[in-house]
Structure 1
Amino acid sequence: MDELEEMIAFWDDFADDYDSIQEESATTLLDDLNTFVKKQPLFPVSSFLDLAGGTGKYIEVFLPLVERYTLVDFSPRMLDIARKKAPHSNVTFIEQTQASFLAQTRDCSFDVVFSAMNPALDTPKQLLELLRIAKKAVYLLRLVADEDVLFSPLEEKPFNLMHQYKKWLHGMPFQVVEFVYPLEETIEKSFFYEYFSEEIPYTTLEKIAATYFKTDSTFLNPRQVIFELLIIPVSQEEVAR
């Protein structure tokens, strides 16, 4: 089994759990994104691409504003789940890798190209490819921060791909829309110890726990989740540079 086959097998195996996790979101991102998009003068559009669309989480956001919706993903199981969510004649599902799909797609094929949390969109060349196949705009959505009082200070911050996207545009105009969600969750003291048991010495955990848990076995942990929507209006002259 080569690397690509291993990746497809992983996402096929994870697809059902992944979809359940997506459905259990603690934020109102889908509703907020839909409200925002409805107000954009760009929409409605004729053709829309959801690249690396997975189990179709964002179909409900954009489909009411789109004549033809195309979702591309390389996981057959992900696509099976997505099809059940959108059994509509104007939604097309394509089982293909991102690289193969982009290589076979002509310039300006879709009014809007959208991709959310795409792990494979990680080079300047790929970003330019999305701009190349878009006629009007590229929309990129990513989680850019998920920080809390208790865990975040003890963990390494994840790499911020959204920051890279902005750099790779080399001065091309773009708009950034933030969706910010203040949350709280109750953390058990025992879970806190178990979570860091293999990474942080027990004596250090005791000192930290004394600050937050004090006389209680639980802590109401403040958390802030931030998503960014990067909107890049397309100028083929800029893309060709």
Structure 2
Amino acid sequence: MKVLLFGATGMVGQGVLRECLAAPDVTLVQTVGRSATGVRHPKLREVMRPDLTDLAPLADELAGFDACFFCLGVSSFRMAEADYTRLTYDLTLGIAQVLAPLNPAMTFIYVSGTGTDSSEQGRVMWARVKGRTENALRRLPFRAVYLFRPGAIVPMHGERPRAAAYRVLGPLLLPLLPLARRLFPDSVTTTEIMGRAMLNAVRRGAEQPVLEPRDINALANGSA
């Protein structure tokens, strides 16, 4: 399996990268991003590009992949809808539209979030934009598109979020997450589970295109 990974330096992306590199059936992981991951591995190839809105010059390096794990995202905190749309909908669709004709057999997995508004009509700005992004991705001619909507995510192997707010709050909340995982198993997942579930979605598919935390956990464990 050859995997294309966007957002490999974020918390979720770090966990997904780790699981991909550990999987025996993954022969290549190519990351695409603005900065290096800092990871060294014989199966890892890194492509750094300051402007991810223009990937056309990289077409030859983006073809021949079985999967794309799109873990790139920004927080909507204090962000205007136009700016959040540009960094969420426009960027994601721009990249996916480049990949689709190059990789017709690709499984595309997008990390969204629980509470996403598929109607695109709700009052919560980020949920509307994420819903619009999800809906547009499902119309593209990939072999399959899966939309992961995790809730709380526990970093299992030292993954660190890039957002400043999460870096400040994370150490305070992290001790509570294992308890939350026991009390609310259908609302909490981990970085390790996210990676394993993505790989299983490519290997054998999932029962539905939209996966909430319970579905992600089940898929990682081989029961969905």
- Where on the TM-score scale, by shorter chain, does this alignment land: which range? 0.3 to 0.5
TM-score, structure 1 normalization: 0.43
Higher gyration radius (CA): 1
TM-score by length of 2: 0.45
